[in-house]
Amino acid sequence: MSETTNNTASVMTLARDNVQQLTPYLSARRLGGSGDVWLNANEYPLPPSFALTSQNLNRYPECQPVEVIRRYAAYAGVQPEQVLVCRGADESIELLIRAFCEPGKDAILYCPPTYGMYSVSAETFGVEGRTVMAKADWQLDLPAIEQALDGVKLVYVCSPNNPTGNLINPDDIRSLLETTRGKAIVAVDEAYIEFCPQATVAGWLQDYPHLAILRTLSKAFALAGLRCGFTLANVELIDVLMKVIAPYPLSTPVADIAAQALSDQGLALMRARVAEISENRLWLQQQLQQTACVEQVFTSESNYLLARFSAASAVFKTLWDQGIILRDQNKQPGLSGCLRITIGTRQECQRVVDALRPLPGANSSISETVSASKEPM
């Protein structure tokens, strides 16, 4: 037993210093739980159905499968040369760091509260992750960002932002792009853009050689298990990423299914999902606003809602015990008391409401809470 421990310890000491210090990203899946209502990873609640169309697994796949690239470019309104496909938007985040940041010298910059993988990827490569807190309204603090840009090669902007759900003001993204011109890459993470397609900055590529846009099939396309994402950028930037990408980033079945998801029929299904989820989100938002234990529900342009609760940990635990798994954001800077709820089916949203209604609010007695639960649905 002690021998095993010693061996493990000695292997750990062989690892790079920054890897020894690394805390791996606590994904919703790693956090576990034994629920039957999974509302913690911003997935689509129901599985789409696909069949493989080709039987050629003896051959290596194309590095950049032509049909997937062609269809995604048409969908996104860009040229095929402006599209890179890879193993999810998480790999796009990583490719940018590997291609543009010198470990121990360069930095990335991001604005909490936001998506957790920017910092995890930077740490993995020994690159400094510099933070400039978002303002109280969760918009970019442009003067503070400008002050902090020294040594920064890459700025991540998440819009709609995960976990807050708000869009970043487009004028601010433009200002940031002007400030960083010739100095740093701006990566706009549009993982949820299908829920607010008018807000994309894909049309700005012609103006900014240092703009990269991250996309994914994991959210509105209901394919989180497929692991397929995209980077949109001008050819010069795509060529840099092509230098560091794996020779076969996508397996043949992934490319096969991705192409189907991007067919006319696939896009129509995606848009129907977005309409359904957006409707459920509005419904849940209204319900939460009439629920005693909810202090505030934030407006969202995505497939999740962030809400502040009077007793967030107790609420999280109560729902957990009923098999309803939410994402606790309480530890994120600026988000004390906040939980993030993925929008599921209407039934799942109803389960959340039913579980929350009996819980007391900060200033309400039990009897007030009971009367709140009798409000018309």
Choosing from 158, 237, 245, 294, the residue that interacts with ligand PLP (CB under 6 A) is 158
Q: How far apart are CA 216 and CA 234, in angstroms?
A: 18
Write down the least CB distance from residue 41 to ligand PLP, Å: 8
Instruction: Give the distance from CA 141 to its chain's centroid.
Output: 21
If the CB atoms of residues 123 and 189 are measured against ligand PLP, the closer one turns out to be: 189
What burial letters (b/e) apply to 346-361, b meaning 16+ CB within 10 Å?
eebbbbbbebbbebbb
| 167 interacts with ligand PLP by CB under 6 A | no
If the CB atoms of residues 28 and 355 are measured against ligand PLP, the closer one turns out to be: 28
Residue 347 has phi, psi (to 5 degrees) of -60, -45
| 224 interacts with ligand PLP by CB under 6 A | yes
| 229 interacts with ligand PLP by CB under 6 A | yes
If the CB atoms of residues 124 and 216 are measured against ligand PLP, the closer one turns out to be: 216
If the CB atoms of residues 112 and 229 are measured against ligand PLP, the closer one turns out to be: 229
If the CB atoms of residues 334 and 361 are measured against ligand PLP, the closer one turns out to be: 334
If the CB atoms of residues 119 and 291 are measured against ligand PLP, the closer one turns out to be: 119
Distances (CA, A) of 267 to 69, 159, 270, 272: 15, 21, 5, 9
| 344 interacts with ligand PLP by CB under 6 A | no
Q: Indicate the residue whose CB is closest to ligand PLP.
A: 88
Residues contacting ligand PLP: total by CB under 6 A: 13
| 220 interacts with ligand PLP by CB under 6 A | no
Write down the least CB distance from residue 322 to ligand PLP, Å: 25
Residues between 180 and 209 that touch ligand PLP (CB under 6 A): 189, 191
Choosing from 119, 162, 200, 287, the residue that interacts with ligand PLP (CB under 6 A) is 162
Residues between 85 and 144 that touch ligand PLP (CB under 6 A): 88-90, 115
Residues between 26 and 45 that touch ligand PLP (CB under 6 A): 42
Choosing from 40, 218, 260, 303, the residue that interacts with ligand PLP (CB under 6 A) is 218
| 328 interacts with ligand PLP by CB under 6 A | no
| 216 interacts with ligand PLP by CB under 6 A | yes
Candidate segments 32-40, 83-91, 147-155, 285-293, binder of ligand PLP by CB under 6 A? 83-91
If the CB atoms of residues 75 and 115 are measured against ligand PLP, the closer one turns out to be: 115
Q: How far apart are CA 372 and CA 218, in angstroms?
A: 37
Write down the least CB distance from residue 291 to ligand PLP, Å: 25
Residues binding ligand PLP (CB under 6 A): 42, 88-90, 115, 158, 162, 189, 191, 216, 218, 224, 229
